[in-house]
Structure 1
Amino acid sequence: MGMKVKEVAALSGVSVRTLHHYDELGLLIPAKTSEAGYRVYSDENLAELQQILFYRALGFSLKQIKEILTNPSFNRLEALVSQQQMLHQKRCQLDDMIRTIEQTIKEGKGEGTMTREERFKGFDFNLNPYEQEARDRWGDEVVDETSKKLQQFGGKQQEKMNMIYRRLADVRHLQPDSEEAQKAIGKWFQFLNTIGTYSLEAFAGLGEMYVADERFTTNIDQFGGGLASFMRNAMKEFARRNN
């Protein structure tokens, strides 16, 4: 038996307005609409809503969540395991931050002192929820090698990377499968393989991360609005053509 939107709102704690918004975004589409025009949600919809709320609790944007849930390779059980791991990681970080606050309060009351390191314990802005996924799909060696080479980046390499981004931004108005776009994205594929070892599958997967992870999107789109999405589509086409 289906549930009406007010019932789902009462069950989940999500407002009716938010559920309507999710529907409008194509993020959570009700199983059907009654003859009277009411949204009717199925048990499958409730499972989808649970996934959305887990990702929201982890700090993912609605855009990121939609990209994840509509990806053909999405697997709900795998997602739950990944979410569990991220929540454990987040809990550990929060525990560290709570202890840091407690120590800071004590120091403010004159009841102790803190080292410089203790003052910033628990703050970590480098956590990447996609790193474990990358390791699972492409192996530790690829991820570790790429991270190591990125840390050794010099000015010339950085400038070369920025030049490729600027060139891609120049052609982002073209169709991703156009010859000019494919030539430009090919340069990106070649460049990435100078700092790591990317298969065509890994290359296409990386493109998905450009739009699924808001940090990637923000960084890339500074070269031109919509560049991350364009690169994702061009990388997917490049992988298909050259497979």
Structure 2
Amino acid sequence: MDGVTKRTFDDAEDGLTVGVVASLVGVTIRALHHWDALGLVRPSQRTDTGYRLYTAADIARIHRVLVYRELGVPLNDIGTLLDAPATDALASLHRQRDQLRERVAHLQRMSNALDRMIEARKSGILLSAEEQVAIFGQHWQPSWVEEARDRWGDTAQWAQYAERAAGRTVEHWHQIADGVDALNAELAAAHRTGVAPGSDQANSLAERHRASIGAYFDCTHSMHVCLGRRYATDPGFAAFYDDIETGLTTWLRDIIDANARAHGITPESATWV
């Protein structure tokens, strides 16, 4: 402690003005006035002209206020702590510590969630290539995720996909994959039995297929048509559906188009909206 500071503390026995104390303890004059109004720390002395002066005991109380404030204790509770019997103050400190630990744990959970969100935005799915194949089947190509990111990484749909992926566990992905497998089996059976595009059954299956896309992002009928068009023209997607049932890719595109038409969309001019 330098000589100036020491003399200032020594002078506190005779009382220090609010400006000097503010500079000494590192708070604003406005804060000291506010604490005075709350009854938290009131100057104990006055000059002959009525100016309030802080004593050494007052400054010590200010430092205790600063400690509690740093711990996150609300100002309205600090006064109670300072004036409470030792046992009551200890119990209150225990409560404040527990609340602080819970806040730290909450912030850590938020940080972890943000980490997952960042990683999901970059990678598209928080699964290794091996996990993807194990969950989605041997027909699945992990490169599809990278291709989708390169193509749609700046779109709102990719943002939705990443947000939903960030909150999913391996078990969640298993449930989604099981639902898709069951739907694909129904699509294949409907195609084998000659269900016609535009029929009630085909439209129902097309709607369920559109809903399955909703596990990743909100899919309009127009967007669904664009996806069906891509299934039919992309060799990877075509092979995926035709391996399930020969001709399934084209039939799936046709039922998607017919269902979209029933909802007022002209498939030939459909766009990604």
- Using the size of structure 1 for normalisation, the TM-score is 0.42
Larger Rg: 2
Q: TM-score, normalised by structure 2?
A: 0.38
Higher relative contact order (CA 8 A, sep 6+): 1
